Homo-oligomer: A and B are copies of this chain.
Amino acid sequence: IQAADRPLLCEVVAELHEADLGDLIEALAPEDRVALVEITGTDFDFSALNEVDETVREEILEELEPETVAEGVRELESDDAVELLESLDEEDQEQILEKLPPAEREDIERSLLYPENSAGRRMQTEFISVPPSWTVGQAIDYLSETPDLPERFYEIYVVDADRHWLGAVSLDVLLRARRLVPITEVIEEDRRRISALEDQEEVARMFGKYNLVAAPVVDTTDRLVGVITIDDVVDVIEEEADEDLKALGGVTHPEELSDTVWTIARGRFNWLLVNLATAFLASSVLGLFEGQLEKMVALAVLAPIVASQGGNAATQTMTVAVRALATRELGSYNALRVVLRETMVGLVNGIAFAVITGIAAVAWFKIPGLGMVIGLAIICNLVAGALGGILIPMVLERVRADPAVASGTFVTTVTDVVGFFSFLGIATLWFGLK
């Protein structure tokens, strides 16, 4: 790139798949990234920019001239164009949109009006629609004679003169049918359609459940406005899984490998602050029993075990619950059964670990009775953990908070507090301390 060997670079860039080109860009130094796009000009496929981290994408787009970006955007399908532009602020968007031809500009602007993460944002507005009066043969001929078709398509749609939905025909169905058959005879009329306002998570669930590769998007009056294809949905599925997983691990702020230390540290700070508050709350329970801890230091040594064992059992339950809520496997119809089952699991493992921990504690500290105390506390805490692990995500889901984000803190707070309180409380009674 430094040598700026233009023909060679153009050839390399033109041959690469957009995904590989994206990888290449990420591997380059920041100043070389912009240079690469500028040097290769029209050979550069702008959809590669959708394959790189958002921070990198914004940096490149801000460095480039609006003219260059506008030219690149023109070559994209509308959904890729929207994805590229939605990461920019409104002023930059405006500058680029101004330089586009009116028709494309209007399509993109209309998509940008839909709320973030809605089907309207993800759909492409290029699709093939035919009138209901045609035969299969006419549709096939139309496809081979029309030069300006969308880049990839898996089905065609039948609409009336007002673009109202009539049905869909998959390409394999079209190819299977005889030429003279009217198109209305092969359409699927009851195909699932997506409202443009639908949340993308719901869309992904529908694709997964019904094994779709493409689905029509309609507006509130059932007029066809776009199509969502499986490749966009795969991205959504991965994004959502990613978000849930990171949220459960306490990473609630989106971050990318290319972010700076400062951005990442700040993003993780809030969650750690919440955790600190709950840790102080749990320790204040220990503080209530200062006298007992002084008299029998074994209690201070063993208390974290009770809390940790409860916390881990509760996290298991919570993980299963969060996942089942996300996939809609857990709903009000089976809630009671699942809550009872988790409580029983907590009780069963509670008894098992009560015995193990009790024996270990007596062997260690040679204090008779300590085994019984820690055992009872473990049973209490595992049952409490099970209840917390299942009920907290369910309540959060009810009040429309994201169970994946908030459950972790609440759940371990419950097990820390119950763990410390039950262990030291039972010890106080048993040994007649204080």
Contacts of A149 in B (CB 8 A): 172, 176
List B contacts of A287 (CB < 8 A): 301, 364
Contact across chains for A257 and B178 when beta carbons are under 8 A apart: no
Query: How far is B295's CA from A300's CA once the two chains are assembled, in angstroms?
Result: 12
Known: A241-B245, A279-B305, A338-B257. A348 touches B265 (CB 8 A): yes
Interface residues on A, range: 35 or more
Nearest to A348 among chain B residues (CB) is: B265
Whether a CB of chain B sits under 8 angstroms from the CB of A153 is yes
Number of copies: 2
Label chain A's interface by main secondary structure. Answer: helix
Residues 399-431 of chain A, each 1 if its beta carbon lies under 8 Å from chain B, else 0:
000000000000000001000000000000000
Q: Is A366 an interface residue (CB 8 A)?
A: no
Are A246 and B323 touching (Cβ within 8 A)?
yes
Interface 1/0s, chain A 1-39, versus B by CB < 8 A? 000000000000000010100000001000000000000
Within 216-274 of A, Cβ neighbours of B (below 8 Å) are at 230-231, 233-235, 237-238, 241-242, 244-246, 248-251, 255, 257, 261-262, 264-265, 268-269, 271-273
Bound form: Cα–Cα A213–B286 in Å: 58
Enumerate chain B residues within 8 angstroms of A275, measured Cβ to Cβ: 308-309, 312
A280 touches B (CB below 8 Å): yes
Asked if A300 meets B293 with Cβ closer than 8 Å, knowing A172-B171, A210-B17, the reply is yes
Cβ contacts under 8 Å, A241 to chain B: 237-238, 241-242, 245
| List of B residues within 8 angstroms of A305 by Cβ | 276, 279-280, 283
Whether B312 contacts A271 by the Cβ 8 Å rule is yes
Q: Do B250 and A312 touch (CB < 8 A)?
A: yes
Kindly list chain B residues whose C-beta atoms are within 8 Å of the C-beta of A211.
19, 231, 234
Please name 17 pairs of A and B residues whose Cβ atoms are closer than 8 Å in the assembled complex, sorted by A: A143-B175, A144-B178, A152-B172, A238-B241, A241-B245, A245-B245, A248-B248, A248-B249, A250-B319, A257-B324, A261-B348, A264-B345, A265-B352, A268-B345, A269-B349, A294-B297, A308-B416
9 more CB-based (< 8 A) A-B contacts, given A154-B213, A245-B323, A249-B315:
A144-B179, A208-B238, A211-B234, A245-B245, A245-B319, A248-B249, A251-B316, A264-B341, A276-B357
- Which 9 pairs across A and B sit closest by C-beta, in order of nearness? A249-B319, A241-B241, A300-B300, A211-B231, A171-B171, A265-B348, A143-B175, A261-B344, A279-B308
